[in-house]
């Protein structure tokens, strides 16, 4: 169940962020026998600033891979 104090959060939006961070190798993934994998944030991503920096860089990378070209000074206003 999601916290009522975060009304803008949804399971879908949280899932998208987790996928983005997984793509960036921000998690230590431990396989468990006959169970789902355990994902823990790596130590270097346990501050908001570090996690946000990696999140934003992944968005920029995905956009550029998709052919989107935006001036560097415009990215800060978009992110």
Work out the number of other CB atoms within 10 angstroms of the CB of residue 55. Answer: 16
pTM: 0.72
* Counted domains in the chain: 1
Q: How distant, in Å, are the alpha carbons of 5, 9, 11, 25, 33 from that of 15?
A: 18, 10, 6, 15, 24
Which pLDDT score is estimated for 40? 94
Which pLDDT score is estimated for 19? 92
Percent of the chain surpassing pLDDT 90: 38
Angle ∠(39,40,43) on CA atoms, nearest 5: 150
Residue 43 to residue 25: CA distance in whole angstroms? 12
CATH number at residue 24: 1.20.120.1790
| Domain coverage including residue 47 | 11-78
pLDDT in tens, 20-63: 999 999 999 999 888 888 999 999 999 999 999 999 889 888 88
């Amino acid at each position: 169940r999601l916290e009522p104090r975060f009304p803008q959060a949804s399971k879908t939006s949280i899932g998208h962020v987790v996928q983005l961070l997984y793509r960036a190798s921000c998690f230590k993934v431990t396989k468990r026998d006959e169970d789902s994998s355990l994902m823990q944030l790596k130590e270097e991503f346990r501050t908001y600033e570090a996690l946000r920096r990696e999140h934003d860089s992944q968005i920029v990378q995905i956009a550029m891979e998709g052919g989107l070209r935006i001036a560097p000074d415009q990215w800060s206003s978009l992110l």
